[in-house]
Structure formats: C-alpha cells, structure tokens
Structure 1
Amino acid sequence: MFVDVDGAQFFVVSFGRGPRTLVGIGGWTGSWEVWADVFGVLSQHWRTVGIDHRGTGVTLAATEGVTFAQMADDLLAVLDQLGIEQCVLAAESSGAATAITAVAQQPHRFSGLVLSGGLYFQPPTNEPSPFLLGLQAAYETAVDQFIRASLPETNDPALIAWTRKILLRADQTAAVDLYKLTLGLDLRPLLPQITLPTLLLHGDADRMVPLASSQWLASQLAQGQLHALPGAGHAPMITFPQAVAAAIEGFFKT
C-alpha cells in the first residue's frame, strides 16, 4: 500500500499479527526488502512493517536536498497514518541515522531500537569520495562493487542478484543524493538522548562499517547491547536472517 505524506507516496508493507510491532527501514538505496527474510521469521509473533524511504523501492518521493531530519519526519508521519503509536524500530547501515534522529525527536514513539551495521558518524575529509565518483561515472558498476564489499560471506548468485535488484530500484540521481547525506555525518551529539533498549547487530566481517564503531556506540548508549555476528558482512539481515531474527526475539523477549 502507499501512504501519502505531503504529496510524496511512501510504499508500506505489513505482515503478521502480535502484541508488538517491528518497523524496518533500509539504508542508502536499500528498500524494506532487506528485512524481508527476518520479517518472515518474526511475523509469526510480531506485526512487522516495512517502509521504503525516499528514493528507494517503489516509493515516489524526491531526494534532492533531503536530510536525515526530513527522513525522520517522513518516518514519523507514516507511523501516524498507520496508527502505530509505539514500535520497535529496526534500521540498517545509514538507515541508523534516520532512526537515531527519529528517536531523538519523539522518544515516546519507540519501545526499542535495532541498528545493524549502523552508520552514525563519517569523519569529514577534503578528499573527494571515490565511491561517490564511481556512482556518478558508472552507476551499475559502483553498485556491483558495493554489493561485493557488503556481502563478502556469500557467492550465492540468487542472493547477489536479489540484492542487486533491491538497490537498483533506486535511480542514479537518488543513489547519489542519498549517499551524499552520509558525507561528514555526525550524530554523536544525539546519543545521550537515546535511552531506550537498543540492540546493536554487527557482522564481524563488515567491510563497510567497522565492528569497532558499534562497540563504541554500545558504550555510549544507556541501554545499548552489542551482538556480533561471526562471519557476517554488512548486511546480515540478508545473509543470516535466522540469526538476526533470533537476536531480536531474544533481546526483546517479554
């Protein structure tokens, strides 16, 4: 289904029924589908909701000049329209920046947080980003390189092809706009405001965001707990969905 927010059309899916709701968002150009296999497990006991953020999946929303604050506003507006008063919010990679911003804005809306390979800080540099230059010069080639770096633990052609289809639903302009958001990102000042139970998932083979980043984040959050996933790269929701689902279920067990 599509949810209208100020003329933008956000694509939303929902599976399962249960006393708890888990809302999943992707990072960069990853749509809700990065959580699909995890939802397949958790929807036996949870209501699971996936949202395609701006520029991803089949959502129709402009990305020019977008900020993480705006994406957090989008998320909160979609939750309002769905009648979700409170949920556990799950985000991966740069989606963590949207999640942290949303929780800082309206902490009462969230009972817990799951960040997988979460990106919250990207040191500024005077050098041009090689990946950004690659996106601008040869989009599909850059995406293929990103997938290989993100999923070092698998050579499964079906899994790689599925991931490619997910990412390439975003056009080149959206991919560039969304990647630029991460350059110089620094949400460390918001961390003292994140006091809810937070599960930090991180593959110990992650080449995109080092494990040390989540180790430090766990030390800064009032209720942060790190769960390292042996052998996993940057997208364990795709390659280790059972382990990710079990970690979420265990952390938020009632």
Structure 2
Amino acid sequence: MPTIQREHAQLHYYLDDFTDPWRRSPDAIVLQHGFSRNGNFWYNWPPLLGREYRVIRPDLRGMGASTADAEHYQPTLDVLMDDLLAILDHEGVEKAVYVGESFGGIMGMQFAHDHPDRCRALVLCNSPCRLSRRESQTPGGSWLATMEQGGIGAWSAATINFRLDMRHADEGLKDWYIAEMDKTNPEFGQALHRYLDSLDFGPHLKDITVPTLLLTGDESPTTSMEQQQFMAAEIPNSELTVYPGLGHGINAIYPEWCVDRMREFLGLQS
C-alpha cells in the first residue's frame, strides 16, 4: 500500500495493476471517492479494470489510511489537487482517466479544468456541481450536530438514502457502507462538510475541455436530473447517460454498467 509524505499529511492510495508486465506505460485510471469515504469504496471496480489500467484509488487526506494534522486540516480543492498531482507524479503517470463519485467528481471537475494536459477523460458518477443544504431532514436537525454527537457513522445511517438507493442495494452493502464511513474522524468530516456548503463549480463547467461522461440515476435525491442536464449542457464535450428508476449510488450498486458505459465512451473518443 503506497504512501507519500506531504506537508501536514501522509497520503495512502491503493494501486491495482494487473496489466501485462511488458507494457512499459499502461494507461492509468484514478478512482476518487466522495465525502468522508475512502478508496476501499471502489473495491468492486479494480476486478473490472485491472487488466487494462493501472488503477489508483487515493484516500483523501484524513480519510481511510491517509492521515492529517487536525490543526492544519484544510480540505480545499487546491490542497486536494496538489495531493492528487503528487500521487500521479509518484507513480510516473503523465495522463489519467479520472473517475469520481459525488464530491470526488467535483474534484475531478477541478482536475480537468486546471490540468487538462494530465486528464485524458473525466467520468462523473452521481456528481453534483453544487450541493443544496438539507440539514432539516436529518434527525436532530443538523448534519454537523449529528456528526459531532454520533460520529460519521450515525450521520451516514441517518442520511443513507442520499447515498444509496435501497430499492436496488443489498442490506449488507448498506451496513458495510455505514461502518466504513464511521472510520472517518468526525472532526475531518465536519470540516469538509462546511467547505462543501460553500462550493459551486457551476460557473466553471463551460471551461472544461476534456471529454466528460456523466453517469447518474434519474431519481437521485442528491444529483437531480435538472442539475445533471445543466452540467451536460455546460460542459462542451460531454455525454449524459442515465440509469432509469435508480436513485443515488450508481458506482457502488452497478459497477459493471458504469464500466461498460465508460468503455463505450472512451472508445468513441479514441
């Protein structure tokens, strides 16, 4: 499990590489997790991609096996972009396909926008360009209070329908999802949540030039079809593909469908 020492943080990432060893520079793909999760949330993607790509699954600083100094914890897009570039440089990756889910997708928009020379294509799974506030829908009223009092696991359990469509997901997946999110330090989760409240990438979408695929369910409570259609209209070279009758969590519930759509999209861009 590779690690990199950064200022005020030690970054961990998973590397899944089952490409032919004589291929000197196999294509790379980054799978970036969302809010208060970790690289293990992509566990069902490497078996589908490992023969084609060097699969890199970073843990954001302060999450998963990546550590961070709480006194200097600043989960801004600029800081997280520097972390991502450090990982790519450490692996000698000049250009990668970037796949992000939820907040990981917002990071991908920043990556594609600021570093188009490093991004072959962008794939957004259930990714908004901005998040609307829904604190009144959480038991106790406040998401931040729920995190502080019960940890990220309690918050995740109270808001699971924003993350997983339980009409399609297995109960075991839900329990694992909550337990895995509960590993995140609530202090880091609260800091990232406060930052997300102020984030709106909408004005910059028109400046993303890399090929972009948006994958979503048409009934997601977090990434509405209205917002997804807005994003597809704003990003010049983009395609929106919709799974009918599905809420949130498309990457976790239907990885094969996502990978098939991605392969088709990348094939058209070749």
Same fold (TM over 0.5): yes
Q: Partner residue of 2:23? A: none
Aligned equivalent of 1:132: 144
> Is 1:114–1:200's contact at 8 Å kept on the other side of the alignment?
yes
Shift of 1:7: 5.0
SS at match of 1:138: helix
In structure 2, C-alpha distance between the alignment counterparts of 1:123 and 1:142, rounded to whole Å:
17
Which of 118, 125, 128 is the matching residue for 1:119?
Answer: 128
State the alpha-carbon separation in 1 of the partners of residues 12 and 132 from structure 2: 32
Q: Does 1:175 align with 2:182?
A: no
Whether the 8 Å CA contact 1:123–1:184 is kept in 2: the answer is: no
Q: CA deviation at 1:181?
A: 1.6
CA gap of 1:196–1:119, structure 2 versus 1, over 3 A, is same
SS in 2 for 1:182: helix
Residue in structure 2 matched with residue 246 of structure 1 by the alignment: 260
SS of equivalent to 1:207: coil
1:190 corresponds to = 204
- Residue 150 (structure 2) pairs with residue 150 (structure 1): no
Aligned to 2:227: 213
1:21 is matched with which residue? 28
Counterpart residue number, 1:4: 5
Determine if contact 2:126/2:248 at 8 Å carries over to the other structure. yes
Range 64-73 or range 168-177, more displaced:
64-73
Q: Equivalent of 1:74, from 77, 83, 92?
A: 83
SS of 1:245's equivalent?
helix
Structure 1 partner of 2:174: 160
1:234 is aligned to 248
Could you list the per-position Cα deviations for residues 1-47 of structure 1 after superposition, in whole angstroms to 9, with x for gaps in the alignment? 21222352111112232732110111111211222212221223222
Q: Is the 8 A contact 1:56 1:167 kept in 2?
A: no
Task: Work out which of the two has the higher radius of gyration on C-alpha atoms and give 1 or 2.
Answer: 2
Q: Using structure 2 for the length normalisation, give the TM-score.
A: 0.86
TM-score (norm 1): 0.91
Kindly indicate whether structure 1 or structure 2 has the higher relative contact order, using CA contacts under 8 Å at least 6 residues apart: 1
Please say which of residues 2-11 and 193-202 is displaced more in the overlay: 2-11
Q: Which runs of 5+ in 2 are unaligned?
A: 21-25
CA distance in 1, matches of 2:251, 2:69: 27
Runs of at least 5 residues in structure 1 that lack an aligned partner in the other structure: none
Partner Cα distance (2:235, 2:69) in 1? 33
Separation (CA, whole Å) in 2 of partners of 1:237 and 1:57: 19
1:203-246 CA distance string (max 9 Å, x none): 12312221221111000011111111223332111111111111
SS of the counterpart of 2:196?
coil
Name segments (4+ residues, structure 1) moved above 6 Å. none
Shift of residue 155, structure 1, vs aligned partner: 5.3
Aligned partner letter, 1:40: P
Distance 2:173 2:66 in 1: 23
Distance 1:223 1:101 in 2: 16
RMSD: 2.3
Q: Secondary structure, in 3 states, of the residue corresponding to 2:46?
A: helix
Distance (Å, rounded) in 2 between the aligned partners of 1:148 and 1:122: 15
Which residue of structure 1 aligns with residue 56 of structure 2?
A: 49
Question: SS state of the match for residue 55, structure 2?
Answer: strand
Deviations for 1:121-176, whole angstroms, at most 9, x for unmatched residues? 23689x9x832332233333221122233212345232112212321121111111
Q: What is the number of equivalent residue pairs in this alignment?
A: 254
Q: C-alpha distance in 2, partners of 1:111/1:130?
A: 39
